[in-house]
């Protein structure tokens, strides 16, 4: 058989072959160029590494030593997604983060086949009763009033509320979502020490105005209180309480920090500070150097605002707390703060130096029952409401806090997870990939306040529902009736004891 090819077809085949050959030659040239460029870059990096003096690894192992830095940077992401077990990560493990994400999305949480939690020493176990309360027989919750003797007493509608997160530390859409979500859930939103922004008020929720050591929004230039500015802010009916922040769990003993890159014109206007400069608050209130001056400041704020006024602190040294209790006893119960927020010393949403995050301040597991005992000892427990804060993001955490003496619970990082936080640990770099803690407009576009507001509300409602479920299982009508006898604490030998038997206040005195 003979193959006959027409002249036209032969010409097309020759042209195609020529084109293919040219393409291969071009790819070969590009490949050689890429190899040459890579070699040139390696030579440049080699010279740079072998002549620099900052890094011994790079100088001894030029070019190759750079991979150590790369792998160190990528290691946290590989560990999070591929290597760490569900309950291994810090500050919050995957099981905790995914629980918040799930209930925020669907508003319910049911898991199959049993618990994966390891009962390590210190783990709380709730002492369910033989005859739990029927939900249908639930009696009405008694009235709960903060600051009944102020001009504008406050009756919180929620047991679980949004802790201090300022506009500046968090982005505009994040604050908008929290405000709208708080309104849907009926909880209050704490402004954080950055002052009252329009976005805190936008959703129409109850707002707690926090006055930090710099007194942003109500300050004189020397960081003393400007009562006229405070009065004007509190004319807004959504401002329900004022909170004087003495310290916080992220950095007890150091004032707040907002990097200059986040201090834009709007934030500078809200806070009353120069634009484009680091906003570093004093270590303490300049007009409250001792217990007597603190009580004077509380009185001035309460009188100017007409609102219930409390204090927030992270407890370390107990002696100053006792001195404050003694000063209140000498002046009378009316001089006491209307509420005290006890923040755990195990970090928080704010960026802070590592020694303060890791090694200062008692955790809420110790400081909350300690403050409850001190208020009881001084006869102030009914006068002063006690609010727990600090790493209490699950229903079990919140129920434990009620057992330990809390009247209400505030939380911040749980709400960041509800907003979509993936614990990328970029809060201080203005590069948050979820748009929560950045002022980069491109990154903020990923955060839809309307959608996230629903998640915030779902999170609040689920927490309250499940804490009530725990309370009923323990045989009481509602969470504030939970006592220390209702929680057991796992000991080092693996067995548990009632919390009221293992707690010893005298160890801290």
Please report, for the chain, the start and end positions of each structural domain, with discontinuous segments joined by +. Answer: 7-76, 124-508
Q: Which of 151-165, 203-217, 438-452, 453-467 comes out lowest in average pLDDT?
A: 438-452
CA distance 139 to 148: 23
CA distance 497 to 488: 5
Max CA pair span of the chain: 119
Give the pLDDT confidence score for residue 291 in this predicted structure.
Answer: 97
- Per-residue pLDDT, averaged over 293-307, amounts to 98
pLDDT in tens, 12-66: 556 556 656 666 677 777 888 888 888 899 899 889 988 888 888 888 888 888 8
CA distance 274 to 128: 56
Higher local confidence (pLDDT), 434 or 374:
374
Q: Which of 35-49, 403-417, 423-437 comes out lowest in average pLDDT?
A: 423-437
Residue matched to tokens 């929290």: 178
Burial class (CB in 10 A: 0-12, 13-18, 19+), 39: exposed
Q: What values do phi and psi take at 508, rounded to 5?
A: -105, -5
pLDDT in tens, 260-288: 877 888 888 999 888 888 888 889 999 99
DSSP assignment, residue 221? T
The answer to whether 415 touches 162, Cβ cutoff 8 Å, is: yes
Q: pTM for the whole thing? A: 0.83
- Per-residue pLDDT, averaged over 423-442, amounts to 79
Most confident of 31-45, 68-82, 84-98: 31-45
Give the pLDDT confidence score for residue 260 in this predicted structure.
Answer: 82
- Token output for 230: 């405070």
List, in order, residues 6 or more apart from 443 with CB less than 8 Å away: 431, 432, 433, 434, 435
Higher local confidence (pLDDT), 479 or 107:
479
The answer to whether 59 touches 49, Cβ cutoff 8 Å, is: yes
Q: Is 416 in a helix, a strand, or coil?
A: helix
Give the pLDDT confidence score for residue 140 in this predicted structure.
Answer: 63
List, in order, residues 6 or more apart from 392 with CB less than 8 Å away: 344, 364, 398, 400, 401, 409, 411, 414
The dihedral through the CA atoms of 235, 236, 242, 246 has a sign that is negative
- Per-residue pLDDT, averaged over 215-225, amounts to 92
Residue 1 has pLDDT above 50, yes or no: no
Give the pLDDT confidence score for residue 305 in this predicted structure.
Answer: 97
- Token output for 2: 């003979």
Most confident of 121-125, 187-191, 192-196: 187-191
Q: Which of 126-130, 181-185, 371-375, 456-460 comes out lowest in average pLDDT?
A: 126-130
CA 174, 180, 186 angle in degrees (round to 5)?
125
Higher local confidence (pLDDT), 284 or 75:
284
Higher local confidence (pLDDT), 103 or 195:
195
What is the chain's mean pLDDT, rounded? 86
Indicate the CATH number for domain 124-508: 3.20.20.70
pLDDT in tens, 301-349: 999 999 999 999 999 999 999 999 999 999 999 999 999 999 987 766 5
Residue 297 has pLDDT above 90, yes or no: yes
Cα–Cα distance list, 424 to 80, 81, 91, 141, 447 (Å) = 9, 12, 11, 40, 15
Give the pLDDT confidence score for residue 341 in this predicted structure.
Answer: 97
DSSP assignment, residue 481? G
- Per-residue pLDDT, averaged over 125-142, amounts to 78
Cα–Cα distance list, 59 to 67, 260, 413 (Å) = 13, 34, 42
Residue 109 has pLDDT above 70, yes or no: no
Give the pLDDT confidence score for residue 423 in this predicted structure.
Answer: 79
CA distance 23 to 295: 83
């Amino acid at each position: 058989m003979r193959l006959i090819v027409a002249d036209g077809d032969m010409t097309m085949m020759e042209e195609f072959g020529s084109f293919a050959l040219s393409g291969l030659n071009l790819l070969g040239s590009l490949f050689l160029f890429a190899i040459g460029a890579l070699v040139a870059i390696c030579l440049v990096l080699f010279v740079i590494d072998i002549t620099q003096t900052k890094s011994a690894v790079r100088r001894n192992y030029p070019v190759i030593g750079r991979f150590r830095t790369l792998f160190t940077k990528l290691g946290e992401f590989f560990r999070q997604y591929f290597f760490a077990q569900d309950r291994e990560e810090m500050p919050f493990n995957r099981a905790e983060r995914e629980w918040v994400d799930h209930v925020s999305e669907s508003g319910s949480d049911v898991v199959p086949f049993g618990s994966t939690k390891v009962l390590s020493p210190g783990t709380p176990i709730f002492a369910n009763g033989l005859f739990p309360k029927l939900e249908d027989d639930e009696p009405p919750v008694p009235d709960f009033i903060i600051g009944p003797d102020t001009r504008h007493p406050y009756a919180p509608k929620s047991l679980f509320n949004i802790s201090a997160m300022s506009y500046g530390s968090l982005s505009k859409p994040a604050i908008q979502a929290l405000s709208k979500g708080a309104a849907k859930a009926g909880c209050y939103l704490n402004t954080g020490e950055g002052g009252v922004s329009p976005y805190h008020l936008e959703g129409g929720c109850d707002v707690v105005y926090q006055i930090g050591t710099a007194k942003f929004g109500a300050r004189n230039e020397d960081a003393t209180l400007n009562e006229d500015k405070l009065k004007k802010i509190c004319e807004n009916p959504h401002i329900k309480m004022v909170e004087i922040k003495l310290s916080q769990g992220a950095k007890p003993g150091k004032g707040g920090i907002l990097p200059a890159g986040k201090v834009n014109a709007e934030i500078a206007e809200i806070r009353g500070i120069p634009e484009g400069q680091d906003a570093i608050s004093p270590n303490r209130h300049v007009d409250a150097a001792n217990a007597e001056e603190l009580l004077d400041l509380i009185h001035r704020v309460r009188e100017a605002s007409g609102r219930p006024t409390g204090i927030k602190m992270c407890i370390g040294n107990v002696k100053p707390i006792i001195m404050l209790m003694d000063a209140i006893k000498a002046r009378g119960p009316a001089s006491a703060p209307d509420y005290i927020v006890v923040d755990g010393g195990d970090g928080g949403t704010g960026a802070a130096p590592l020694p303060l995050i890791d090694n200062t301040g008692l955790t809420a597991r110790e400081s909350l029952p300690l403050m409850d005992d001190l208020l009881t000892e001084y006869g102030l427990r009914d006068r002063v409401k006690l609010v727990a804060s600090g790493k209490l993001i699950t229903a079990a955490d919140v129920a434990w806090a009620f057992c330990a003496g809390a009247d209400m619970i505030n939380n911040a990082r749980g709400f960041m997870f509800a907003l979509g936080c993936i614990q990328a640990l970029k809060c201080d770099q203005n590069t948050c990939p979820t748009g929560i803690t950045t002022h980069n407009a491109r990154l903020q576009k990923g955060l839809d306040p309307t959608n996230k507001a629903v998640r915030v509300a779902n999170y609040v409602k689920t927490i309250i529902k499940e804490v009530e479920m725990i309370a009923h299982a323990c045989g009481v009508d509602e969470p504030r009736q939970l006592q220390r006898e209702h929680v057991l604490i796992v000991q080092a030998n693996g067995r548990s004891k009632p919390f009221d038997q293992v707690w010893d206040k005298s160890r801290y005195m």
